Chain A
Amino acid sequence: MTPTISTTGLTRRYGDHTALGDVSVDIEEGKITGLLGRNGAGKSTFLRIVTAQEFASAGSVRVFGETPVENERVLRRLVLVREDQQFPDFKVRHALSAASWFYPNWDAELAESLLRDFDLPTKRPIKKLSRGMRSALSITIGLAARAELTLLDEPYAGLDAVARQLFYDRLLDDYSAHPRTILLSTHLIDEVADLLEHVVMIDKGRVVLDAPADELRGTAVTVSGPALAVDDFVAGRRVLHRRKIGSRASVTVAEALDPSAKAKAKALHLKLEPLSLQQLMVHTSNGQTAEEASA
């Protein structure tokens, strides 16, 4: 099966700054994939190139097996919700009716119910909306477009916790009812961790992680307890991070533990905590920085 998005050696340079360097990933059909990374990691650049709003300096991108550049067969089947989407001098309802003309699967009922949920005033000019309301409008368009490929670029800017939860709930509801490919870029990883089926992590324009979310959840473990016992336990394992407070230590190892290792930890009275995706990202990008520093 052709992946919905497939990039090979995708690179984007701005002067001597490399926003994306040699990115080769496949985003599979019918899944929710998280595009994780810090601010400025290259997430938005990646999404803009996928939707042909930006051009690659090198490498190739295929969406539904074709190039998206100037290709309406592809562009019509996708929607990108950008954190920094600019609108013309429109009112909210104008933006929605414009969207309804262009997206073939537009669901007006869904749009209306999202407007109600987010409490969006349809007659208000978009430039008078608060940051959060503008995000809510973008989200409404992104979900109601019901595009086969839905790209969400940090769509929650300015939304409070309640509204964010509402967004995650509605996203999941609609995804279950109308399965599609969703690529969600975010740095609020803990909030979305349960939604994600696959994870692609970008750091400084490079892919540092590309794996099913389930696989990642067990890949790193933090071991804590008396320093001596911890040192004994982690000897020979790949250590991501080490912290010592007095006689106690807390060490993160980048390994899945087998049952015998778990039994050993129990015998040594060590506490095992699987690393959350968010912590994994912090460690992964710190690791990158450390490697660069030592190189």
Chain B
Amino acid sequence: MNTLVNVARYHLVDRLQYVVLPVGVTFFAFGVNLAIFSLIPETPEENYSGGLFTLFVFMLVCGAMSMTKSLPFGLALGVSRRSYYLGTLLLVIGLSALYAVGIAVFQVIEDATRGWGLGLNYFRVPWLLDGPWYLTLLTSFVFLLLMFVYGMWYGLIYRRASVVGVVLFGAAQVLVLLGAVLLFSWTDSWAKLGEFFSTLTVGGMTGVLALLVCLAGAGGFATMRRVTV
């Protein structure tokens, strides 16, 4: 356990990448949104800015970086691949929890102040993060986790097979989606799929995301086992 904590600390040496930049950019975008909304004389009913999305993209990049730039020195410090991966996961879980709490808290404040007095929905995302605070907390936690773990997998693919591998990896995922599309067409299941999504609750969606986290996590771990530096 001690080793895993140290791996998490090792990543956190670069606080700029994992904490300062994601939080800073999120709030910078928030500030810009506030400024714009205060200038617009009449705001429409539903104002969703989508600026929060930057945080999720940052997580994807952080995930990839943790398995590319930081990996060689990490493994040189006498850490096994397993510990390195699990220690990074520990950090990911911690950061995702922290940021999810942040999103939920700011969403509550946003609601209480009627969108910061301007009718702005910055910490509220249509459908996905649009429920009670505990669902926002859970969904954003799982979604942040997914972005990070997915990024880690990409980083590991890059380490093992460079750019060609990353392109093939992306192409393989497109093929899987294409296969699913064909399967739905052949079996005339589009209606059923539509029904599935139209009845899917945010809670159910969070479950789907959690499944994807497990999938990406397992895939990344399997890729990690044979990575060389």
The interface of chain A, by Cβ under 8 A from chain B, is: 48, 51-55, 70-72, 75-80, 82, 85-90, 94-95, 97-99, 101-103, 147
| Chain B residues whose C-beta falls within 8 Å of the C-beta of A85 in the assembled complex | 72-73, 76
Once the chains bind, are A72 and B76 in contact (CB under 8 Å)? no
Q: Select one of B13, B226, B228 contacting A97, CB under 8 A.
A: B13
Once the chains bind, are B80 and A55 in contact (CB under 8 Å)? no
Once the chains bind, are B72 and A55 in contact (CB under 8 Å)? no
| B contacts with A, residue count (CB < 8 A) | 24
Q: Select one of B6, B14, B76 contacting A80, CB under 8 A.
A: B76
| Chain A residues whose C-beta falls within 8 Å of the C-beta of B106 in the assembled complex | none
**Minimum Cβ distance to chain B for residue A92 (Å):** 12
| Chain A residues whose C-beta falls within 8 Å of the C-beta of B72 in the assembled complex | 85-87
Known contacts A53-B75, A70-B81; can you find 9 more A-B pairs with CB under 8 A? A55-B228, A78-B78, A85-B73, A87-B73, A90-B14, A98-B77, A99-B77, A101-B10, A102-B6
Once the chains bind, are B78 and A88 in contact (CB under 8 Å)? no
Least CB separation from B69: chain A residue: A88
The interface of chain B, by Cβ under 8 A from chain A, is: 3, 6, 9-10, 13-14, 16-17, 69-70, 72-73, 75-83, 226, 228-229
Beyond A54-B228, A86-B72, whether A102 also contacts B17 by CB under 8 A is: no
A86 vs B228: C-alpha distance when bound (angstroms): 13
**Minimum Cβ distance to chain A for residue B81 (Å):** 6
Q: Select one of B6, B14, B17, B83 contacting A101, CB under 8 A.
A: B6
Q: How many contacting A-B pairs (Cβ < 8 A)?
A: 73
Least CB separation from B11: chain A residue: A88
Sample of 27 A–B contacts (CB below 8 Å): A48-B229, A51-B76, A52-B80, A53-B76, A54-B229, A72-B79, A72-B80, A77-B78, A78-B78, A80-B76, A85-B76, A86-B73, A87-B73, A88-B73, A89-B14, A90-B73, A95-B73, A98-B9, A98-B10, A98-B13, A98-B73, A98-B77, A99-B77, A101-B9, A102-B6, A103-B78, A147-B78
A77 vs B78: C-alpha distance when bound (angstroms): 8
Least CB separation from A102: chain B residue: B77
A101 vs B10: C-alpha distance when bound (angstroms): 9
Least CB separation from A97: chain B residue: B13
| Chain A residues whose C-beta falls within 8 Å of the C-beta of B70 in the assembled complex | 88
Q: How would you classify the secondary structure of chain A's contact residues: helix, strand, loop or mixed? A: loop
A281 vs B81: C-alpha distance when bound (angstroms): 37
**Minimum Cβ distance to chain A for residue B141 (Å):** 26
| Chain A residues whose C-beta falls within 8 Å of the C-beta of B82 in the assembled complex | 70
A180 vs B186: C-alpha distance when bound (angstroms): 68
Q: Select one of B3, B6, B17, B228 contacting A53, CB under 8 A.
A: B228
Beyond A55-B226, A88-B69, whether A82 also contacts B78 by CB under 8 A is: no
A86 vs B226: C-alpha distance when bound (angstroms): 19
| Chain A residues whose C-beta falls within 8 Å of the C-beta of B69 in the assembled complex | 86, 88-89
| Chain A residues whose C-beta falls within 8 Å of the C-beta of B76 in the assembled complex | 51, 53, 79-80, 82, 85
Beyond A53-B228, A55-B226, whether A94 also contacts B77 by CB under 8 A is: no
| Chain A residues whose C-beta falls within 8 Å of the C-beta of B79 in the assembled complex | 72, 75, 102
What are the nearest 9 A-B pairs in CB distance? A102-B77, A75-B78, A86-B72, A88-B70, A70-B80, A101-B6, A94-B13, A76-B78, A54-B228
Once the chains bind, are B226 and A72 in contact (CB under 8 Å)? no
Once the chains bind, are A71 and B80 in contact (CB under 8 Å)? yes
**Minimum Cβ distance to chain A for residue B19 (Å):** 14
Q: Select one of A72, A94, A103 contacting B83, CB under 8 A.
A: A72
A52 vs B81: C-alpha distance when bound (angstroms): 10
Least CB separation from B83: chain A residue: A72
**Minimum Cβ distance to chain A for residue B185 (Å):** 42
A215 vs B81: C-alpha distance when bound (angstroms): 41
Least CB separation from B229: chain A residue: A53
| Chain B residues whose C-beta falls within 8 Å of the C-beta of A77 in the assembled complex | 78
A79 vs B77: C-alpha distance when bound (angstroms): 7
A30 vs B10: C-alpha distance when bound (angstroms): 31
A140 vs B70: C-alpha distance when bound (angstroms): 19
**Minimum Cβ distance to chain A for residue B125 (Å):** 31
A94 vs B15: C-alpha distance when bound (angstroms): 11
Q: Select one of A54, A72, A86, A97 contacting B78, CB under 8 A.
A: A72
Once the chains bind, are B81 and A89 in contact (CB under 8 Å)? no
Least CB separation from A90: chain B residue: B13
| Chain B residues whose C-beta falls within 8 Å of the C-beta of A95 in the assembled complex | 73
A102 vs B16: C-alpha distance when bound (angstroms): 22
